[in-house]
Amino acid sequence: MTERPSAGSFRTFVSTHRGAVEDALLGLLPDKSAQPARLHEAMHYAMFPGGKRLRPMLTLLGCAATGGALQAAMRPGAALECLHTYSLVHDDLPCMDNDDLRRGRPTCHKVYGDSLALLAGDALLTVAFEGVAAAGGPAVQALAKAAGSIGMVGGQVEDLAAEGDGAAHTIERLRWIHDHKTGALITASLLVGAHAGAGGEDPVLEEVPEEVLGLLRRYGDRLGRAFQIADDCLDMTGSAAELGKNPGVDLAAGKLTWPALVGLEKSQEAATALAEEAAGLAGQVVSAAAEWRSVARSSLDGAAKLLQDVAIYTVERRT
Amino acid sequence: MTERPSAGSFRTFVSTHRGAVEDALLGLLPDKSAQPARLHEAMHYAMFPGGKRLRPMLTLLGCAATGGALQAAMRPGAALECLHTYSLVHDDLPCMDNDDLRRGRPTCHKVYGDSLALLAGDALLTVAFEGVAAAGGPAVQALAKAAGSIGMVGGQVEDLAAEGDGAAHTIERLRWIHDHKTGALITASLLVGAHAGAGGEDPVLEEVPEEVLGLLRRYGDRLGRAFQIADDCLDMTGSAAELGKNPGVDLAAGKLTWPALVGLEKSQEAATALAEEAAGLAGQVVSAAAEWRSVARSSLDGAAKLLQDVAIYTVERRT
């Protein structure tokens, strides 16, 4: 734990587990040729090749940081990615952001038409719950809360409402939007991982204690905010090639963003401060988990380092 | 069990439990004033006042017929209704069926706009899984399978593809569409009810045995087919006042329907035959359940009668 946090170890973690995550995704989705083939093609088109797969990686980390076996978090992690991808597919629709570029390719509706893209999104949201079911009732509930009307969907609604409504642009409102639109699902990724890793012979291990969940929530809260502020900054500084989507669209749409409110430099400072705050909580998360599981704290040192490093990664990334 | 099946006892069952189902729906949805209020208003608008609430009633019946306590099926039943309603909201969107009348009122997007209706549908689908979580992992899986790309959404895709594609209109194709678009969720309603009612001190009672589930599936299969053929007929014979939606739209859209293929009379005969087939399976369902629970078969006679009567109801109804 003396090593300075750097995004490097998280990048290594991603390359190590990327293949298994892709396999879990393929295992969760029906085959591309399953009837109706056109629908399954659209779902696969939206899912592969994917982006950073950040959410499944966070599911794996939530599992590892609470002492669970990574394997248990693979399918639930894939579920998180399906859920995230559905939100992108619906967000890109003409009646929403009307975007034509995503993950470096034409958006799903540009290729398959609006009705099939709508239904592919619906099916990805649905299959997400099939994938998370094995992680148990509390995991299903955590995901549904985070993804629903008082979570991600609620955030999307307020985000749309804030467009062009310049008079009501405040940091408080923006924080609410970020916490719901992005933060809730990032935190849920971690929580689902923790739930997925619970269970076992000893009844004490069947349920993740509220103390551990609460610390993960605090950590995820900071991580989610840092991530979304960094995202807002990238929309201004990144290129389409780096982002795989059109940059500058937030600004053009009159969206409420951090850089629009306080400028680019202050936004980047805020993101870094939040990432450091998150990193500072990593030790507490694993200590509480070690106590719950009655294992040596040192057995979770590697996981704690990863929680620190992913926080740094969220603000250092260029994509 | 000597009483002749009639829709009457099911209608009584519906009036008895309608209030509790509405309460469960209100308990599952966030309050109308919860932020973002406009989203929650749109969700409530789509849900209240509702239609027949057939799916939650079937969840209650699936629970009762397998010897469970009705109370355990209330929230999961509400979940089924949220899922059904999301499918109506998305189906009515301009990029889908582009309907302007539903449950006797302007459709959700006519009142709240396309983007909010899309997101309200997404949120209703999501909250459905929150509601079904308490019924356990197998219930979540059954619902996700039935509602997803190899279930309801798959059926919607094939239904859209069949529009105007007259050359490929066959009974086999139509049956596939009905089984997926409507039947899967009707069967899932029954299965979720059975899962919700499982559990208890005795580990044998924790999981519904495959034999019981298989019989419920066979029953639900016939019920779903009867229901959808009757629906196709009502689209031709009903009025907007009775249906709460515009009649004749299937015909106008060149949809693949039973009456279009074999005429109204033969369709009604087919629906009745399927309803009677379903009714004939009711006894087997409750006998298997009674054996699993080690209770007297006669304790489930009332539930068997209801399974018979709802089958008759599906083909006798005018709405």
**Interface touch B149/A115, C-beta < 8 Å:** no
A216 located within any domain: yes
A71 located within any domain: yes
CB-CB neighbors (< 8 A) of A163 in chain B: none
Are B188 and B143 spatial neighbours (Cβ–Cβ below 8 Å)? yes
Q: B36: cis peptide before it, omega within 30°?
A: yes
**Interface touch B118/A96, C-beta < 8 Å:** yes
**Interface touch B34/A129, C-beta < 8 Å:** no
A39 located within any domain: yes
Q: Provide the H-helix boundaries in chain B.
A: 7-28, 37-47, 54-65, 71-92, 108-112, 114-132, 137-147, 152-162, 171-178, 184-197, 210-237, 240-243, 249-252, 258-262, 264-293, 301-316
What is the span of the domain harbouring residue B60?
Answer: 8-316
Lowest mean pLDDT of A72-86, A244-258, B106-120, name the range: A244-258
Nearest to B306 by CA among B19, B16, B71: B16
From first CA to last CA, the distance across chain A in angstroms is: 28
pLDDT tens, A260-299?
899 999 999 999 999 999 999 999 999 999 999 999 999 9
The predicted structure's pLDDT at residue A1 = 44
Number of structural domains found in chain A: 1
Q: Is the pLDDT of residue A240 over 80?
A: no
Higher per-residue pLDDT: A170 or A26:
A26
- The distance of A298 to chain B (nearest Cα, Å) reads 34
Tokens for A164, please give them.
């062009």
pLDDT band at A202 (very low <50, low <70, confident <90, very high): confident
Mean per-residue pLDDT over chain A, rounded: 93
Can you tell me the distance from the alpha carbon of A75 to that of A60, in angstroms, rounded to the nearest whole number?
A: 10
DSSP assigned state of A167: G
Q: What is the CATH number of the domain that holds B136?
A: 1.10.600.10
The SS3 assignment for B102 reads: strand
Can you tell me the distance from the alpha carbon of A308 to that of A2, in angstroms, rounded to the nearest whole number?
A: 12
**Interface touch A137/B141, C-beta < 8 Å:** no
A1 located within any domain: no
pLDDT band at B245 (very low <50, low <70, confident <90, very high): confident
B28 located within any domain: yes
Instruction: Say which of A127, A140, A153 has its CB closest to residue B149.
Output: A127
Can you tell me the distance from the alpha carbon of A37 to that of A26, in angstroms, rounded to the nearest whole number?
A: 15
Q: What is the ipTM of this complex?
A: 0.94
DSSP assigned state of A168: G
A57 located within any domain: yes
- Which of A119, A132, A191 to mutate against chain B (most B CBs within 10 Å)? A119
Are A130 and B148 spatial neighbours (Cβ–Cβ below 8 Å)? yes
Can you tell me the distance from the alpha carbon of B186 to that of B208, in angstroms, rounded to the nearest whole number?
A: 18
pLDDT band at B1 (very low <50, low <70, confident <90, very high): very low
B55 located within any domain: yes
- Greatest CA separation for chain A: 57
pLDDT band at A2 (very low <50, low <70, confident <90, very high): very low
Strands A101-102 and B101-102: unpaired
**How far from chain centre, in Å, is Cα B109?**
23
Instruction: Return the percentage of chain A with pLDDT > 70, whole number.
Output: 97
The SS3 assignment for A102 reads: strand
A2 located within any domain: no
Mean pLDDT of A29-36: 97
Instruction: Say which of B94, B125, B134 has its CB closest to residue A122.
Output: B125
